[in-house]
Structure formats: C-alpha cells, structure tokens
Amino acid sequence: MIYLCSSSPTRAMLLDKFKIDYIQKSVDFDEERIDTDDAREFVYLASKGKLQSAISLYGLDTPLLSADTVIVSDKKEILRKPKTKEEAKEILLKQSGSYISIISSLHYQSREFLFTNISSTKYHFKKFDNDKLEEYLDSNLWQGKAGGCMVEGFCKDYIKMVDGLESCAMGLQVEILKGWIR
C-alpha cells in the first residue's frame, strides 16, 4: 500500500491499471513559486515539493508517491496549466501541427529508500480541427492539465507519432516505478 500524493484521477487510474494498491491523499504545494525556465528542473522541484509536503503531513509509515508533469513546446517553452479558456486556446494552438515533449517527475519514498525518476515522451500532432478544439475548450476538460493537453482525450485523435511511454505523458511513468514498489 502507498499514498498517492496527488488529486489526479489519471494518476489514480494508472495505478489501478497496474494493480498497485494505494490511497489517494493530495497535498498542497504552490508550483507558482518555482522560478525556472528549465522544464526538467521545474517538474523535479514540483514533485519534490509535493513529497516534502506529504512527509510533513503523513510521515513515512506508509510509502509516499508524488509526481508532476509539464509540457514543453517545440520552441522549448514550458506550457503550464492554463487558467482561462483563452489561455488554454493559445497554449493548445502552439501544439497544433507541431510536437511537444511531456516531462514527468516522480518521487517514491519509504522509510528504507527514495526513488526519483524524470522521464519524457514526445508527441507529434496533426493540425487540430478548429470546431473540435472549440468543443474541447467549452468542455473545460483542459482545466488542471499541463499544457491543457489530454493525450488520452482530445489530443489522441491528432497524434501522428509517439516516442516514449504513454503513462509518462499521462503523468506517472508506472512501468518504471513498478519495479521499486514492494
């Protein structure tokens, strides 16, 4: 049994898919205070900050798992979680007909050890259909998603090529983590 220190339904679904027993216990960590333009450093610091918050809240009697994900445009720009529909549209248009790298960082800590991993998955997209993009924006499913992107949802129909683990792109590289969980 582990504590998943995230409120993400997608991360929970991935743990379910890989038959990993967990209890979901989210933590508060203000990612906005991280000041870096380096995507790998950002996700590392965000997932580490979430882990440190979880340790202070829950201790280490039960192993803790924290994670964070960012999307990086073809111009090396971090595409954060959009706050408004207009911002979501702007960010998604940067991905349309282009490629992105989705970078996920995880920290798994028990009393015995700490495992950290940063992985990346690259997606090449066809141009998004404008009407379907507007429907997606109206659905508000982009809210809380790095880059407003859902590779398991809206963006799925536009994927031309994938290089890396789909689970990493969904926010938790479970195939890599699984070997470290007892």
Q: What is the pLDDT of residues 44-99, one digit of tens each?
A: 999 999 999 999 999 999 999 999 998 999 999 999 889 999 999 999 999 999 99
Flag whether pLDDT at 42 surpasses 90: yes
Write out the DSSP string of 49-86: HHHHHHHHHHTTSS-EEEEEEEEEETTS-EE---SSHH
Under 8 Å between Cβ of 173 and 104? yes
Flag whether pLDDT at 23 surpasses 70: yes
- CATH 3.90.950.10 given to domain 2-180: yes
Within a 13 Å sphere around the CA of 178, how many CA atoms are in the beta-carbon half?
A: 12
Does the global pTM surpass 0.75? Answer: yes
Least confident of 32-36, 60-64, 144-148: 144-148
For the record, the structure tokens of 122 come out as 């690259």
Mean of the per-residue pLDDT values for the chain? 94
Q: Which of these is catalytic: 61, 68, 129, 157?
A: 68
Domain segments of the chain as ranges: 2-180
What is the rounded distance in angstroms from the CA atom of residue 174 to the CA atom of residue 77?
26
pLDDT of residue 182: 64
Least confident of 15-29, 104-118, 135-149: 135-149
Q: What is the pLDDT of residues 162-182, one digit of tens each?
A: 999 989 988 999 999 998 886
Q: What is the pLDDT of residues 149-164, one digit of tens each?
A: 888 789 999 999 999 9
CB atoms under 10 Å from CB of 60, counted, come to 14
Flag whether pLDDT at 125 surpasses 70: yes
28 assigned to active site: no
Residues 20-43: what's their mean pLDDT?
Answer: 93
